[in-house]
Amino acid sequence: MEKIPFDRFKNYDREAEMLKVLGHPIRLKIVTGLMSRTCNVKRIWECLGLPQATVSQHLALLKNKGIIEGQRDGVEVFYSVVSEKVKKIILAINEPDTL
């Protein structure tokens, strides 16, 4: 049996924190939606059917963790996914099961 190469010296706190942030269904929906197009807060809360304050809180957390960024266009801010690791995770999650 092949041994799995564990790196006992690597600190996985950052990766675990990123996965915790993505582990919330609303944040996962937001990030998945932002993979296909940039959106402003209003468009996101309309699509999700959630209050604006709820969506803003989730966006703030995603932004603080470096998963998304906002680009200002006049009075609006359009969000997009900027973390390459997160993009790979989202693509893997949405990959059809091959069983």
Instruction: List the domains of the chain with CATH numbers.
Output: 38-94 (1.10.10.10)
Q: How many CB atoms lie within 10 A of CB 32?
A: 15
Q: What is the pLDDT of residue 63?
A: 97
Cα dihedral sign for 11, 84, 89, 47? Answer: positive
Give the closest residue to 47 by CA, choosing from 26, 72, 67.
26
- Taking only the tens place, the pLDDT of each residue in 22-53 is 999 999 999 999 999 999 999 999 999 999 99
- Taking only the tens place, the pLDDT of each residue in 44-83 is 999 999 999 999 999 999 999 999 999 999 999 999 999 9
Q: pLDDT > 70: what percent of the chain?
A: 96
Q: What is the pLDDT of residue 98?
A: 58
Q: What is the pLDDT of residue 20?
A: 95
Q: Could you give the CA distance from residue 42 to residue 51 in angstroms, rounded to a whole number?
A: 10
**Contacting residues for 63 by C-beta, under 8 A, at least 6 apart:** 69, 70, 79
Structure token digits, residue 30: 């937001």
- Inform me whether the pLDDT recorded for 5 exceeds 90: no
